[in-house]
Amino acid sequence: MREMARTGAQGASGGHRSPRGGRVLGCLLAVVVAVLAAAPSAQAAAPGIPEGAALWYACTQPQYYGPLNLECPLPYDPRYLRTFLSEFQRFTPENEFKMMYLEPEVNIFDFGLADQIAAFARANGKTIRGHTLVWGDQLPYWVQHPLLPWSKYLLLEMMAGYVETVVGHFATHYPGVVTEWDVVNEPLGPDGKLRRSTWERVIGGAYIRDALEYAHAADPTAKLAINEGNTDFLGPKTEALLSLAAGLKRDGVPLDVIGFEAHVTPRTAPTVGQLVAVWRRFAAVGLNVEVTELDVDDDPGGDTRAAKDAVFRTYAEACREAGNCTGFTVWGVADPYSWLGQTGGALLYGVNFAASPVVGLINGILDGPVQPLAAGPSATPTKRASPARRHARPRSRHHRHTTRRHTSGRARSRRR
């Protein structure tokens, strides 16, 4: 997953000077350069498919300042940072951007750690997939507190305030760093019905489109995603996701990407053909897709490295072949730091940060130009009521909040 050289054709830098008396030639050259610049160039955009990893930020730092439960689970090892920096172009904060950390108390935002992470990305030329704004898990205690009897309107108000504050924070203070958001995470249950969560129970299914609208209003430049798992095969859950996504696109809701988590094993993984078949259905409704959380756990009894590598290759090949795949993210930098535990061998870099043999292959597959869908067939928003109007949301109760720029967590010294 080397850093791909992304240098397009170098533009005319003004270094040419017409020889004395060569004005006509100079003019002609200027015209040719202008025509070439205006013509669509095959070399103009050759960004390949960006490769990312879920990052445990504290593990990149010898000194960590933040909540204790986001400490790196292992002693500081500079190889973690080195591997990330040299091999990946972007990252997903594995936990740090989740609501329980960003709004730990009602109306009190804590961007202490998130600011460090965004500054880290900016300083190192990386971009961030923001994960995740509206999810049923990893919520602050107060969202589900039985003594807080949410009404639909109050919860919607709170959700609007949360999404606008968080997305707006990064758009304002770190422009161009958080380029994409998992706005809604795992909205569906295994049967394809909307997953029960505080959001769904109190607001109803419309919370999905509302969250997307609020995110778009806060940062019109960010790509917006719904992220879901276990939808790599055609089946009831995948059909339900497709129909949800198609409906949103039809209504002009700002949705760009469907994220496919891909927590799989060699036995549960799909084939290239199955993935491409699913992803093309999403292309047909105007959506790009991304592999967002790929890791390959062991089946009972264990699997060989070769079997796992074949799965990584499958996802990379499908991503290249589908035509609308705009990202490839593995869920962790190296095995010792995987949420699945250290022994699984579920990632591309092993216990000693040695690259699996498939890494070079994946680089080759994902490199080179791609032409994802720029906008879906229904991407032109239809004129329709804003979420606030649809729900007759009482604007006067606008969410007020205080932001805490510095986290209450204390500095943690790390052993080398």
Among 110, 180, 261, 335, binds ligand 9MR (CB under 6 A): 261
* End-to-end CA, the chain: 26
In the complex, least distance from residue 151 CB atom to ligand 9MR, rounded to whole angstroms: 28
User: What contacts 304, CB < 8 A, 6 or more positions away?
Assistant: none
Q: Which of 60, 89, 95, 116 binds ligand 9MR (CB under 6 A)?
A: 95
**Minimum distance between the CB of residue 205 and ligand 9MR, rounded to whole angstroms?**
20
Does the footprint of ligand 9MR cover residue 386 (CB under 6 A)?
Answer: no
In the region spanning residues 279 to 318, those forming contacts with ligand 9MR, defined by CB under 6 A, are 293
**Residue 137 or 251 having the CB closest to ligand 9MR:** 137
C-alpha distance from residue 258 to each of 51, 96, 215 (Å): 16, 21, 15
Shortest CB 53 distance to ligand 9MR, Å: 12
Give the contact letters, 210-249, x = binds to ligand 9MR (CB under 6 A), - = no.
----------------------------------------
293 catalytic? Reply is yes
Q: Which is nearer to ligand 9MR, 185 or 288 (CB)?
A: 185
Minimum gap (Å) between residue 293 Cβ and ligand 9MR:
5
Cis upstream peptide for 380 (omega within 30°) = no
Please report whether residue 339 would count as binding ligand 9MR according to CB under 6 A: yes
Q: Which of 96, 228, 293, 317 is catalytic?
A: 293
Using DSSP's 3-state secondary structure scheme, residue 332 falls into: coil
Q: In this complex, which beta carbon is closest to ligand 9MR, that of residue 93 or of residue 409?
A: 93
What is the number of the residue whose Cβ is closest to ligand 9MR?
339
HSE (CB half, 13 Å, CA atoms) of 110? Answer: 20
Nearest to 310 by CA among 363, 345, 269: 269
Work out which of 41, 138, 151, 304 binds ligand 9MR, going by CB under 6 A.
138
**Cβ contact 385:392 at 8 Å:** no
Q: How many helices (H) and strands (E) does the chain have?
A: 12, 13
In the list 77, 94, 290, 309, the residue contacting ligand 9MR (rule: CB under 6 A) is 94
Catalytic residue among 103, 186, 213, 261: 186
Please report the DSSP string for 377-415 in residue order. TT-SPPP---HHHHTT--GGG----EEESS-SPPEEE--
What is the C-alpha separation between 329 and 366, in angstroms, rounded?
12
Nearer to ligand 9MR, 86 or 138 (CB): 138
CB of 339 or CB of 353, closer to ligand 9MR:
339
**27-66 binders of ligand 9MR (CB under 6 A):** none
Please report how the helices 236-250 and 272-284 are oriented relative to each other, as an axis angle in degrees rounded to 10: 30
CA–CA separation, 314 and 323 (whole Å): 15
Q: Is 186 a catalytic residue?
A: yes
Quote the least distance from Cβ 185 to ligand 9MR, whole Å.
Answer: 6
Q: How far is the CB of 100 from ligand 9MR (least distance, A)?
A: 10
Pairing state between β 288-296 and 257-260:
parallel
Q: Which residues of 22-48 are buried (b: 16+ CB within 10 A; e: fewer)?
A: eeeeeeeeeeeeeeeeeeeeeeeebeb
Beta strands in 41-149 (DSSP E): 51-55, 63-65, 90-93, 108-110, 127-134
Tell the smallest beta-carbon distance from residue 6 to ligand 9MR (Å): 28
Q: Residue holding tokens 């719904």? A: 226
The one among 9, 68, 124, 137 contacting ligand 9MR by CB under 6 A = 137
Binding site for ligand 9MR (CB under 6 A): 94-95, 137-138, 185, 261, 293, 339
Active site residues: 186, 293
